[in-house]
Structure 1
Amino acid sequence: MPSAPLRPVLLLLALAGGLPLAAQTIVLPTVVISAARTAEAPDQVPFSVALLSGDQLRASPAATPDGALRAVPGFSLFRRSDSLSANPTAQGVSLRGLGPSGASRSLVLLDGVPLNDPFGGWVAWSKVPREALAGAEVVRGGGATAWGNAALGGIVQLLTETAPTRDSSRGIPAGRLAVAGGSFATHRAEVVVNQPVGAGTFQFSARDFATDGFHLVTPEDRGAIDRPAASEHRWFAGRWRQEISPGTQLSVTARTYDEDRNNGTPYQQNSSREDFASVSLARQPGADFAWEALAYAQDQSFASTFSSVNPTRTAETPASNQFAVPATAYGAAWTGVWKSTPDARTSAGLDWRRVRGETREHYTYSAGAFTRERVAGGTQEIAGLFALHERALAPGLRATLGGRLDAWRELAGHRRETERATGNVLRHDTYADRDGVEFSPSAGLVWAAAPGWRVRAAAQHAFRRPTLNELYRPFRVGNVITEANAALATERATSAELGVDYASPTLALGAAVFWNDLRDAVGNVTLHRGPGSFPIVGFVPAGGLGRQRLNLDRTRVQGLELWARWTPAAALSLTADYLYNDATVRVARAAPALAGRRLAQVPQHVAAFGASWSPARAVTLTPRVRFLGRQFEDDENLLRLGAALIVDLGASYQLTEKVELFLNAENLTDERIETGRSADGLVNTGTPRLVLGGVRCAW
């Protein structure tokens, strides 16, 4: 529930939002803001960009925001599970299969603020609104020069609707309410309300969600200990926006959030809590200059429990109790845009982010109690400045060139382990402070070769510092023990792509080839097989694995993207997307046997087909078919996950101008979606058939 300091604020926002505001139509030009941190036309962006409108995201048959984004084949989470059932630590984003892991190798933003967890780098997708979304931008392979750390694979930015401060034709609906319920006792309610107050506007939004969930283990492997993965979450958010001087707008945002999950057995659960606030100032474009400043603060906590289940799945033994993971994040940024001539523009800025966090957990379960305690964590700080210049070189030919310099440091790294009964110190490591400087250049060309045709080429160099979780926290899931590594090196990726696009009023086609060279990728590398006691990882039980986070010297991810959009009639549009991905380890001195192996959790083939069809004036159908090729669960390519063909269907009926009935069926054919496979053959699966129906009202 909301923390005490925020409850009065949110109550006032809710009361203020109770008054109606005349709905107006939004007519805005399509722009991309995530590639260069400033608004630019999509046909001027040299990187691959997928744009999804708020209406498209709301109409998606997927139950979750990340599920809706899977319409872009290059988008995936660490595993095939989506945030409806996945453990939060497995919700990191991978774009084009660039080294998937629990920590995102792509930067995920909500209105310009990182959603990547301060401690672990994963993404809590349940924080993302749906009714208040204006759209989403997925920039594959680009954005690192503008955004810096963690943007190796690209940028995913979710943008919320912004209510105007004065009456204008650019207004948004006064409010929107959606209520739905269906399979597995799932129910959700979400509301967003915009209300002018004096010279400003309040926007209040909230969600309440709960599900009894479904079993994660396949029926043939399931035992008495297995439970459905139930979850519930809620959040409240408020934003005040006011024009404080002609052309200058102030926005203040506050959010409070909490979530509780069961992860498939009685003991395995996790919970998340967060309070967040931000303030921004934006100067609207004048003749030749505009700027925006942002500052934010985040305070959160996380808790999670893990167990080891016996072979017959009739009992479980606690493996660890991560009873508290407090983390804070503070950040600030300033971006300016100068337009020197109609055909030239420069954007530049600076940003800073500081995170601090530690894990506090109990481990080594014996005689009905945990006997040891671990506290491990540290502080990470990154500051950077960047500049990007865009210029027309000739009629139809436009170039972009940019560079970014980041300085990072890691402070107060520590790991202390004690006997709970005696207080005896078993381990007390303090790690030397570390620092470094990274340079992230990028370049791009866009050539309008003929009417409707565009040829583009782009390249960038990017980096990611390992998260505090990767550096300092060992963990155990079942009988798989993974040791931390405070000496992990910085990941660096050099990426390039070449693409050609065609667009007409009824047809759009595109193709792109891409190449990524990822150096020092952090991976969970298998070192030992149990039973036995081994260096670094300690005792590994029978059937278990001993792993450590290590840098893989070089991995290569390359492939091909194809896409098509066809609108043969106003009532019908069709889409098709395909991704071929060759992701392999090239050099791994820490584990030479991995050379030539495919990266875990990356399918070689992914395809998606979708449509939006209105067979009658008030009816809209949005079917979607996704194909996921086979992939490997593990780094050694011994555990294979089968291919899956997933059919989803969305349907809506416009009951009145303001009221819409909708029905979403996810995995309509109840396809078996393998999401995990253990060394002893246990298989986990993703979302079975899930049907939700509801009503959406706008005013």
Structure 2
Amino acid sequence: MKYRGEFLTGIIAILVGLLMAVPVFAADADTAPEAKSMEKMQVTSTRTQKKADLAPASVSVITKEDMEVMQINTIDEALRYEKGVYLDRPGGLGDALPATTMRGLPGDERSLVMVDGIPVNDPYSSLVPYNMIDPNAISQIEVVLGPGSALFGGNAVGGSVNLITKDPKELEAGGRLGCGTYNNQKAGAWVGDKVGERFTYRITMDWEAQEGYPTQLVTKTTKAGAATGISGGNEINYSVIAGTDQVAKRWVVGDKGDKNSERYGGTLRTTWKTTDTGKLTFMFMGGSHTYEYDAPHSYISDGSNFVFSGVAEAGSGQVTSKVNPKDFLAGKGSREYYAPSLKYEETVGNVDITAKLAWQKRNSWYTSLTGASSSETFYSAKGRYVASVDNEYLAEIQGDYEFEWMRKHVLTAGLYYKQGTFEQETTRLRYYQDEDSTWGGVVDLTEGDTTFLAPFLQVEWSLHDKVTLYTGARIDWWWAKNGKSGDPKDLAILEDKDKSAVSPRVSMVWEPVKDSTYVRASVAQAFKPPTIYDLFRTWYGSTGTLYKSNPDLDPETMWNYEVGVDQYLLNRKIKLGGTFIFSQIQDLITNYYEAPKVAKKTNVGKVDIIGFEADARVYPTDWMQFFVNYGRYESEIKEYELDKTVEGHSLLEFPRDLVKLGTDFRFWKFQYSIFGQYFGKTYWEDDNSYTDEETYMGYYPHWEWDTKLTFNATDKVHASVAVNNVFDEGEYWGGSVKAGQTVYGEIRFEM
């Protein structure tokens, strides 16, 4: 791997130096690690502070300490070992739009992600700006599996993630510096303090850059025939399966160049205690992410030079289909994110009131090829420039009222409003690598707005010392309007859309043995409206495929039934859990191919998912923990009017089986962790015909292992070295070449 030798030498030198410095820090040598605790608090499943054990849903809490034992460069990577969660980031830092999906439901748009309870899924396609959220700002992550629409509305179908920031209690400052494979460089810093009795502040910054590697291979199908005097490249090893797109081998003739990327993230958080019971919080998040490709590489030659055109020998009497220079080209892009917000908390009589105001803005652009002839090259090809901006405005008020009627109960009620706007313009480029070489004016336009208005209500009924019942519902009125798409000279004005959805939930938590046994059961409905992209965006991909919007789409709805048990043993040193799930989805939104290169958004009639989740966590000592979790999700398309042949098949792009396990332990000044993930069979074509063998695009069952060693020189200075994907598995995954085995070293210090 690139830079690996120099990097490992540097890391070894750092660790040796720290080990030699141990006597200097001898005063800290007898510092014992703090005992770990399984008792954690969360707010996401109920909108009120609640012990995670007593939550009416399957909840896990990731603390700052938990994150430190993993190698996390972007905040979504903290989720990769959580049960039921699938992290889709095959291209590493270069991925412009990574996704997190939950409980067998593909697509980031079916998982709600929030920062301090404020949704950050964008209004255009419901994607999340993971690359632009500063990990140094996040103190806790709460993961709730299952529908949350009764409290949070759309997107909260497969589950919800809440990234929590916190107030400093005293002066805290620190930083981190790291580097790794592919000249990955990272720096971060933070400072915060409590000033007097009423004011706190915290500022964080984070930067990361990577010179990159070839994430996009150039492949060609093979056939019998004669080559044009060129050879080279290699075959992708996978099984050929009749009746599928995988009926021919693919030969790698090159790549589209090293994909370089850079990101920034930062936050400013201040709080002011306005009264004895009131607090005003201001938060600003911002960030950017850019990516671009270096010149492409060809693996085929004419005997003297590498070439980018012709028909190449592909072994065993086979040749490739025709290779063209245009095949090797990929564009560049950039995204920016700004998100100021205000939150005011106050207690008036017996009512706790929380009010939020937020604004989020995203600017993005990318370049791609269009209208270029097959002979044009990296240095001459024409292209297009696609620039967009979306704004989202949010207001919410919530009241929590504790009342007594034979026993004490809690009423939570609120009103939620959100409006999102989106504008996108496409212009032609004289040179596709130069975003400033536009000419001829706008050739394609997409616009649209969405508005949500939703009251919500929940009552937490204390039926018994050991039984709590939750009943609640949310009504979402949703409008999509001002849709426009196409050539500005012949612009299509699309029909406005409006719908309403009621999302009820009934949940019960029973604690038959105090502090030991917890039983949960729930019935809930969730909904997800179509995005602006689904309704209004029609465009051509780089391969010539036409992706058509559909303003007639209906929202997705899902009924979910589940029951779960958590059991603690040996004075809470061991936790065992299991959950059974049955989900019925109606009107799932997906792509339907009307023709080989024409895809249109449509609603699938009915889909069922049957799932089972199990997990165990063991704390045998104060300095060690072990966990393992397993999720199995069997999905079946029950009704699909447009294509009866896929009825009985599974949903795509989510592993049927997910296993995560790991351990971390401390000895003297060292902390060591090792984590593994197993990805089961994953389908990427509607026919579901692939076996468990390796397949083209890489969706085959496999394990991946990550490890990290940290040396705590003092309680303020830490050095670590981490190896992700230790055995270099899953090389070609979902169309992108994975980073493979990567090594990363870091020094973290606090003041």
Q: Settle same-fold status: TM greater than 0.5.
A: yes
Cα deviation for residue 28 of structure 1 reads 12
Q: Distance in 2 between matches of 1:634 and 1:54?
A: 39
SS in 2 for 1:209: strand
For the pair 1:275 / 2:338, whether they are aligned, the reply is: yes
Q: For residues 357 and 236 of structure 1, do their structure 2 counterparts lie closer, same or farther at Cα, with a shift above 3 Å needed?
A: same
For the pair 1:508 / 2:585, whether they are aligned, the reply is: no
Cα deviation for residue 482 of structure 1 reads 1.7
Equivalent of residue 594 in structure 1, options 627, 646, 650: 646
Cα deviation for residue 605 of structure 1 reads 0.9
Q: Distance in 1 between matches of 2:207 and 2:537?
A: 32
Equivalent of residue 704 in structure 2, options 638, 646, 658: 646
Q: Which position in structure 2 is the counterpart of 1:93? A: 100
Query: Residue type of the partner of 2:592?
Result: V
Cα deviation for residue 225 of structure 1 reads 4.8
For the pair 1:255 / 2:285, whether they are aligned, the reply is: yes
Q: For residues 263 and 588 of structure 1, do their structure 2 counterparts lie closer, same or farther at Cα, with a shift above 3 Å needed?
A: farther
Query: Do the aligned partners of 1:660 and 1:696 also contact (CA within 8 Å) in 2?
Result: yes
Query: Residue type of the partner of 2:103?
Result: R
Deviations 1:583-605 (A, max 9, x none): 22221112222212211101111
Query: CA RMSD, aligned part only?
Result: 2.9
Q: For residues 550 and 582 of structure 1, do their structure 2 counterparts lie closer, same or farther at Cα, with a shift above 3 Å needed?
A: same
For the pair 1:205 / 2:204, whether they are aligned, the reply is: yes
Q: Which position in structure 1 is the counterpart of 2:598? A: 546
Q: TM-score, normalised by structure 2?
A: 0.79
Q: Which stretch shows the higher mean deviation, 68-77 or 434-443? A: 68-77
Equivalent of residue 595 in structure 2, options 519, 528, 536: 528
Q: Distance in 2 between matches of 1:314 and 1:675?
A: 27
Q: For residues 366 and 124 of structure 1, do their structure 2 counterparts lie closer, same or farther at Cα, with a shift above 3 Å needed?
A: closer
Q: Which position in structure 1 is the counterpart of 2:130? A: 125
Query: Do the aligned partners of 2:216 and 2:255 also contact (CA within 8 Å) in 1?
Result: no
Equivalent of residue 671 in structure 2, options 613, 616, 620: 620
Q: Distance in 2 between matches of 1:470 and 1:364?
A: 26
Query: Do the aligned partners of 1:224 and 1:313 also contact (CA within 8 Å) in 2?
Result: no
Deviations 1:64-117 (A, max 9, x none): 32222011131124x4526523231xx33321122x12x420110011121212
Q: Which position in structure 2 is the counterpart of 1:51? A: 61
Query: Do the aligned partners of 2:383 and 2:431 also contact (CA within 8 Å) in 1?
Result: no
Q: For residues 142 and 173 of structure 1, do their structure 2 counterparts lie closer, same or farther at Cα, with a shift above 3 Å needed?
A: farther
Query: Do the aligned partners of 1:63 and 1:666 also contact (CA within 8 Å) in 2?
Result: no
Q: Distance in 2 between matches of 1:172 and 1:104?
A: 38
Q: For residues 322 and 598 of structure 1, do their structure 2 counterparts lie closer, same or farther at Cα, with a shift above 3 Å needed?
A: farther
Query: Residue type of the partner of 2:519?
Result: V
For the pair 1:351 / 2:403, whether they are aligned, the reply is: no
Q: Distance in 2 between matches of 1:577 and 1:322?
A: 45
Pick the structure with greater CA Rg: 2
Q: For residues 588 and 413 of structure 1, do their structure 2 counterparts lie closer, same or farther at Cα, with a shift above 3 Å needed?
A: same
Query: Do the aligned partners of 1:307 and 1:316 also contact (CA within 8 Å) in 2?
Result: no
Query: Residue type of the partner of 1:193?
Result: V
Q: Which position in structure 1 is the counterpart of 2:153? A: 148
Q: Which stretch shows the higher mean deviation, 593-602 or 56-65? A: 56-65
Q: For residues 363 and 136 of structure 1, do their structure 2 counterparts lie closer, same or farther at Cα, with a shift above 3 Å needed?
A: same
Query: Do the aligned partners of 1:306 and 1:478 also contact (CA within 8 Å) in 2?
Result: no
- How many pairs does the alignment contain? 633
Cα deviation for residue 510 of structure 1 reads 0.5
Equivalent of residue 472 in structure 2, options 388, 398, 402: 402
What are the equivalent positions in structure 2 for 1:33-44 lying under 5 Å apart? 33-44=43-54
Query: Do the aligned partners of 2:459 and 2:472 also contact (CA within 8 Å) in 1?
Result: yes
Q: For residues 322 and 386 of structure 1, do their structure 2 counterparts lie closer, same or farther at Cα, with a shift above 3 Å needed?
A: farther
Query: Do the aligned partners of 1:578 and 1:607 also contact (CA within 8 Å) in 2?
Result: yes
Equivalent of residue 575 in structure 1, options 608, 618, 627: 627
Query: Do the aligned partners of 1:83 and 1:125 also contact (CA within 8 Å) in 2?
Result: no
SS in 1 for 2:93: coil
Q: Which position in structure 2 is the counterpart of 1:114? A: 119
Query: Residue type of the partner of 1:41?
Result: K
Cα deviation for residue 44 of structure 1 reads 2.0
SS in 1 for 2:259: coil
Q: For residues 445 and 479 of structure 1, do their structure 2 counterparts lie closer, same or farther at Cα, with a shift above 3 Å needed?
A: same
Deviations 1:406-464 (A, max 9, x none): 1111121111315xxxxxx2x32112322222111001111123341122111211111
Consecutive unaligned residues in structure 1, runs of 5 or more: 1-24, 164-170, 419-424, 530-544, 678-683
Consecutive unaligned residues in structure 2, runs of 5 or more: 1-33, 218-232, 235-250, 297-328
For the pair 1:238 / 2:268, whether they are aligned, the reply is: yes
Query: Residue type of the partner of 1:258?
Result: S
What are the equivalent positions in structure 2 for 1:553-568 lying under 5 Å apart? 553-568=605-620
Deviations 1:8-57 (A, max 9, x none): xxxxxxxxxxxxxxxxx999973221112221122221211111111112
Q: Distance in 1 between matches of 2:72 and 2:207?
A: 17
Q: For residues 40 and 121 of structure 1, do their structure 2 counterparts lie closer, same or farther at Cα, with a shift above 3 Å needed?
A: same
Q: Distance in 2 between matches of 1:606 and 1:319?
A: 43
Cα deviation for residue 158 of structure 1 reads 0.7
Q: Which position in structure 1 is the counterpart of 2:318? A: none
- Quote the sequence identity (%): 20
What are the equivalent positions in structure 2 for 1:337-486 lying under 5 Å apart? 337-341=400-404, 343-362=408-427, 373-418=443-488, 425=489, 427-451=490-514, 452-475=516-539, 476-486=541-551
Query: Residue type of the partner of 2:482?
Result: A
Query: Residue type of the partner of 2:549?
Result: A
Cα deviation for residue 181 of structure 1 reads 0.7
SS in 1 for 2:686: coil
Query: Do the aligned partners of 2:719 and 2:746 also contact (CA within 8 Å) in 1?
Result: yes
Query: Residue type of the partner of 2:180?
Result: G
Q: Distance in 1 between matches of 2:681 and 2:130?
A: 25
Q: TM-score, normalised by structure 1?
A: 0.85
Q: Distance in 2 between matches of 1:661 and 1:462?
A: 45
For the pair 1:659 / 2:657, whether they are aligned, the reply is: no
Poorly superposed stretches of 4+, deviation over 6 Å: 25-29, 308-320, 363-372
SS in 2 for 1:229: strand
Query: Do the aligned partners of 1:108 and 1:114 also contact (CA within 8 Å) in 2?
Result: yes
Query: Do the aligned partners of 1:466 and 1:488 also contact (CA within 8 Å) in 2?
Result: yes
Q: Distance in 1 between matches of 2:154 and 2:336?
A: 25
Query: Do the aligned partners of 1:455 and 1:499 also contact (CA within 8 Å) in 2?
Result: yes
SS in 2 for 1:230: strand
Q: Distance in 2 between matches of 1:75 and 1:110?
A: 18
Deviations 1:194-236 (A, max 9, x none): 0345642221111111011222246845544521222101123
SS in 2 for 1:405: strand
Query: Residue type of the partner of 2:412?
Result: S
Q: Distance in 1 between matches of 2:542 and 2:609?
A: 28
Q: For residues 44 and 197 of structure 1, do their structure 2 counterparts lie closer, same or farther at Cα, with a shift above 3 Å needed?
A: closer
